[in-house]
Structure 1
Amino acid sequence: MSFESSPSLQSMSTTCGFLFFSFTALFSLFSFLIFVSRMKPWCNCDICKSYLTMSWANKFANLCDWYTHLLRKSPTGTIHVHVLGNTITSNPENVEYILKINFENYPKGKPFSTLLGDLLGRGIFNVDGHSWKFQRKMASLELGSVSIRSFAMQLVTKEIHTRLMPLLTARAESNTPFDLQDILRRFSFDNICQFSFGLDPGCLLPSLPVSDLAESFDLASKLSAERAMTASPFIWKAKRFFNVGSEKKLKKAIKVVNDVARGMIKQRREMGFTARNDLLSRFMGSVNDDDEYLRDIVVSFLLAGRDTVAAALTGFFYLLSGTPEVEALIRAELDRVVGPVQDFATFEQVREMHYLNAAIHESMRLFPSIQFDSKFATDDDVLPDGTFVRKGSRVTYHPYAMGRMERIWGPDCLEFKPERWVQNGVFVPACPFKYPVFQAGVRVCLGKDLALMEMKCVVATLVKRFDVRLVRPDQELRFVPGLTATLRGGLPVRVYERKC
């Protein structure tokens, strides 16, 4: 019996293959044309033309600065970028409406979860509904406990004492310039890995080793964010399907993150987790048999705790370097609360530093770690300022722009002025809807207090011991595309040990 195909069968197979390929290609083209028609790329308004041609870059160093300019000019503090299907607002009433009053109509949405799905999976920052509520309740119980706060304080204090301070002392003695942003990212990555996994990557060891996990995590975050900047989701989805270009790099980077996470989960199951304090061990008591879910939860916390703290501290020291009067007032408070002899502040002492707290909040007003956040409307709606929002469209509130609005913060809105947060010597928080740096309403950041504690400890220790000065005081800040505010080229500084 012959198993060879006859010429007619071969011809039929070739014809079927050609027809199938043609149908697939035509269907893909048709789908793409439908998407393009919905995007309306032919919009001739000035904003859309400037965005598509990137002519905004002739006057502004960063996209966020251009958006700030447009939002200042808008009578309502709201603009439309039609080609992106995006409504962007800096109006506090709109922010409150989106994040609180009509919260159910503005979830993260499927477009957002698709963009970050490969990295964050079903983690808390990438889901809505029951899954989000479950994780938030679980995280609220854990992050609010005295034991977890004490554990976090111990980790931060140890990293400052044993790694950060010796490294900066060595840099001061050698008068060697270095990238402060890189050092702060290493510091926060060590902390959040120990806090999340019980894993110490040692990024801040004296040799400043290269961490495959840190590099892969950074690359995965960057490439996931860049998906949102493509002209069409069809582009990055096609690249992912064919495993080419940036999507091939993203896949490799996520594999490294996954391998480490799964390895830690396996190790923790073998060792037992009931006596450990890291988040992974604590969550394993509630999520017993779903390792992928555990991976998604912990990787989300890794994202939140690493980049946000480092970005906020980088912005703080950039501003402090140019305002010696603020630096002097922080030091006066440190001398009063901690005393001139004690090197490191305790948790209780840090809580008493109202001016330091004000200075950190003020720096994040001007340089928030997350410059904007988007939701997707479930149904047609009208915002408080009268803006119509179409079902399925993107709605973005912009903390970076809001911190620079005279109508919100007054004529001195561009000044670094911690005093605006202090009344009668006591720190007074601002309305969260005009200061949504930690989000607000139902999704307000659960890690806010832990993040602020970490930042205060770092600032109190460094400011007491060192003068931190920019290598280029006139440095123009440029941000790289990403999920958090990261400076292109870093923040080159010199540190000088104080003689007092």
Structure 2
Amino acid sequence: MSTSTHLIKSKSDKLPPSYPLIGSLFAILANRDRVIQWTSDILSDSPTSTFILHRPFGEESVLTSNPANVKHMLETRFNVYQKGETFRNTLSDFFGQGTFLADGENWKHQRQVLSHEFSKQTFYKYFETVVYSELTDHLLPVLSAAAANKTTLDFQDILQRFGLDTICQVACGYDEKSLLPSLAPSELGQAFHDSLRIINQRVSAFLPLIWKTKRFLNIGSEKHLRAGVIRIRNFVKESIKKKKEEQNNNNSLESLDFLSLLLVSGQSDEKFVEDMVINFILAGLESISAVLTWYFWLISGNPDVENEIVKEISGSNADDLVYTQASIFESLRFYPSVPVNSREAMNDDVFPDGTKVKKGSRVSYHNYAMGRSENLWGADCLVFKPDRWLKRDEGNGSVNLTGRDPFSYPEFHAGPRTCMGKEMATWQMKTVVAGVLRQFRVVSEFEKGVKPKFIAYFNSQMEGGFPVRIEKRV
């Protein structure tokens, strides 16, 4: 068994001390560069897998990795735990009034619109065509050139470029062409990346007055954010304008991208369409690359798993890749695309474990901690083991995926807000993995024993990128 098969568990941290007025500010500052790991360690020490983090000025953040509490949040008391005005005030500069921030009737309406478009077989086929095209025409040739020239690639950057080009085509029929052999900088991609990073700093800020002042004065990071958001919104507005001109000139739209389908369905409110498209892009922009970056790192250190995957993908299509899908779900358990997901409590409430939740508190379920929970995954919870997702029929020898309680494994959310793109995302990840590993070995260039640092904006990332060597399979 390779050394990277076992993930090292950090030394446990006790509940941070809290003081009048400043709360646990000292502990928050001391762990600001590893907040995900720090809070995960605290949850692993908690008898209820829940704790309250006291922020400055009396604000409370409730964090939990208890499936009963997660179900309570996401399903049983769904109407109590909403996105809320605090998140909307913090994020709406970028997200607008789109699905990510919507509550109540507004959310229901947007959910219905999404459900209508996602149910169209023509849209799914268009999505598949785009993914296959980007994979075969751009991603694989870049890897082939790197293998031939023996060059080191930042595989995280490559996967992010693949994600940008794919989602922009699926969203509005536009190809950014960031994955051409030159790998030239993408102004649009950088605008998205920087805007997500800065807006996430707002969410994690313990003194919101600082970023609000910078926004008012239009200085520093807030000036940079404003420029990025303008660049992104102008891109979407221009896409809408072109689609409407095409629609008016031809009395129809032949395109099958998300924007075209919205316009054909009669959506005439341009601000509504603009926010829907931006939220659609953000949902798929870095989520797939986040998962696959960590996936290929894990696979590079587990040759036995890689051999099983290569054996399975030989001559198979993405619908049949049971072991490959199990390995993706296992990787996602350790490195979720969204490590912590938050809501705001609309009323006072009590969790099933007895934790009292005050109205206005930020309440979060901790995917990262749940994936490392011995209570949920057993004594071998820190072992990368795709077989835990498989059920073998001793009678006929077949192997099938075994289901998991979505509130114990909420990587695609759960309850009414369950990710509508789960099947599309899973298919895309399997397709990319099969396409890459069928032809190449992705070899980590990290020094032996060096573990990359997990960081997160809205999606998880590998700090500093993922340097790899690409080798052609013989």
TM score, norm. by length of structure 2: 0.91
Please say if 1:298 is aligned against 2:277. yes
Matches within 5 A, 1:59-458: 62-83=34-55, 84-272=59-247, 274-286=253-265, 288-335=267-314, 338=315, 349-424=317-392, 425-458=399-432
The one of 439, 460, 467 aligned to 2:441: 467
Tell me the distance in 2 between the aligned counterparts of 1:256 and 1:98. Answer: 36
Flag structure 1 segments of 5+ consecutive residues without an equivalent.
1-38, 339-344
Deviation at 1:42, TM superposition (A): 3.2
**Cα deviations by residue, 1:226-261 (Å, 9 ceiling, x for unpaired):** 102222222211111111111111100101001111
What SS does the aligned partner of 1:208 have?
A: coil
What SS does the aligned partner of 1:277 have?
A: coil
Tell me the distance in 2 between the aligned counterparts of 1:229 and 1:324. Answer: 38
Aligned-residue identity in percent: 38
Which deviates more from structure 2 when the two are superposed, residues 96-105 or residues 475-484?
475-484
**Cα deviations by residue, 1:179-219 (Å, 9 ceiling, x for unpaired):** 00000000011000000011000010111122211111111
Deviation at 1:315, TM superposition (A): 1.1
Indicate if the aligned counterparts of 2:339 and 2:456 stay in contact, CA closer than 8 A.
Answer: no
Distance 1:285 1:178, change over 3 A: same
Deviation at 1:432, TM superposition (A): 0.6
Tell me the distance in 2 between the aligned counterparts of 1:496 and 1:365. Answer: 27
Distance 1:243 1:287, change over 3 A: farther
Tell me the distance in 2 between the aligned counterparts of 1:249 and 1:410. Answer: 46
Which one-letter code corresponds to 1:306 in the other structure? L
Distance 1:443 1:465, change over 3 A: same
Deviation at 1:76, TM superposition (A): 0.2
Please say if 1:42 is aligned against 2:19. no
Deviation at 1:160, TM superposition (A): 0.8
Indicate if the aligned counterparts of 2:246 and 2:253 stay in contact, CA closer than 8 A.
Answer: no
Indicate if the aligned counterparts of 1:226 and 1:481 stay in contact, CA closer than 8 A.
Answer: no
Indicate if the aligned counterparts of 1:287 and 1:294 stay in contact, CA closer than 8 A.
Answer: no
**Cα deviations by residue, 1:267-321 (Å, 9 ceiling, x for unpaired):** 1000015321000111123453321111111111111111100001101101101
Indicate if the aligned counterparts of 2:294 and 2:462 stay in contact, CA closer than 8 A.
Answer: no
Indicate if the aligned counterparts of 1:202 and 1:209 stay in contact, CA closer than 8 A.
Answer: no
Indicate if the aligned counterparts of 1:48 and 1:81 stay in contact, CA closer than 8 A.
Answer: no
Which one-letter code corresponds to 2:171 in the other structure? S
Which deviates more from structure 2 when the two are superposed, residues 142-151 or residues 353-362?
142-151
Deviation at 1:363, TM superposition (A): 0.5
What SS does the aligned partner of 2:41 have?
A: helix
Count residues with an aligned counterpart: 442
Which deviates more from structure 2 when the two are superposed, residues 480-489 or residues 443-452?
480-489
Which one-letter code corresponds to 1:78 in the other structure? T
Tell me the distance in 2 between the aligned counterparts of 1:227 and 1:40. Answer: 24
TM score, norm. by length of structure 1: 0.86
Distance 1:287 1:135, change over 3 A: farther
Tell me the distance in 2 between the aligned counterparts of 1:409 and 1:450. Answer: 26
Residue equivalent to 2:469: 494
Which one-letter code corresponds to 1:68 in the other structure? S
What SS does the aligned partner of 2:469 have?
A: strand
Tell me the distance in 2 between the aligned counterparts of 1:490 and 1:443. Answer: 31
Deviation at 1:62, TM superposition (A): 2.2
Tell me the distance in 2 between the aligned counterparts of 1:130 and 1:449. Answer: 26
Tell me the distance in 1 between the aligned counterparts of 2:417 and 2:269. Answer: 25
Flag structure 2 segments of 5+ consecutive residues without an equivalent.
1-18, 393-398
Tell me the distance in 1 between the aligned counterparts of 2:234 and 2:69. Answer: 42
Which one-letter code corresponds to 1:466 in the other structure? F
Tell me the distance in 2 between the aligned counterparts of 1:226 and 1:442. Answer: 28
**Cα deviations by residue, 1:311-343 (Å, 9 ceiling, x for unpaired):** 0110110110111111111111123xx2xxxxx
**Cα deviations by residue, 1:32-66 (Å, 9 ceiling, x for unpaired):** xxxxxxx95333xxx553114x1x47xxx622111
Rg larger in structure: 1
Greater share of helix residues, 1 or 2? 1
Deviation at 1:480, TM superposition (A): 4.1
Tell me the distance in 2 between the aligned counterparts of 1:352 and 1:480. Answer: 33
